[in-house]
Amino acid sequence: MSYINEMKLNFKALSENEAFARVAVASFCANKIKDIESISDIKTAVSEAVTNAIVHGYEGKNGDVEINCTINDEKVIIEIIDYGVGIADIDKARQPFFTTKPEVERSGMGFTVMEGFMDEISVISNPEDGTKITLIKLIGKGA
């Protein structure tokens, strides 16, 4: 029998929920993933994506952030979704050091960090619609 487990989170776009989301996803994954380095990588990537949803997606205004997490024998798939302003140019946004908020000490390294710590990342975004980040980490034999 192959293993599959799923969970969903839904929370307000408040900065204090970044730590909650990171720990909740890590804790969910830790049932299946026993190597600490992978769990730490997942925490780092989720933290970047959730921070982006709060800071850029909603720009500090009210909003909801969703996380869908699926884990099986081969990989964990984590979707981080906001319904905020969206990203005008995704290719540009993903480049190292690109930021639209240099004045608040953003370094533009969030996407680069997510790419470095995960095996796959995809970005779907439309201005006015919001953004969905999908993070994938291979586990088990494929890792």
68 carries an active-site annotation: no
**Which CB sits closer to ligand ATP, 4 or 19?**
19
Encoded one letter per residue, x for contact with Mg ion by CB under 5 A and - for no contact, window 87-106 reads --------------------
Residues sharing a CB contact under 8 Å with residue 10, sequence separation 6 or more, in sequence order: 64, 65, 66, 67
Q: Least distance (Å) from ligand ATP to the CB of residue 123? A: 8
Dist. CA 15–CA 54, nearest whole Å: 7
Contacts 24+ apart (CB under 8 A), 37-41: 38/137, 38/139, 38/143, 41/117, 41/118, 41/137
The answer to whether residues 65 and 133 touch, using CB atoms and an 8 Å cutoff, is no
Which residue number, 33 or 49, has a Cβ lying nearer to Mg ion?
Answer: 49
x/- mask, ligand ATP, residues 76-115, rule CB under 6 A, reads ------x-xxxx-----x----xxxx----xxxxxx----
Enumerate binding residues for ligand ATP (CB under 6 A): 48, 52-53, 56-57, 82, 84-87, 93, 98-101, 106-111, 131
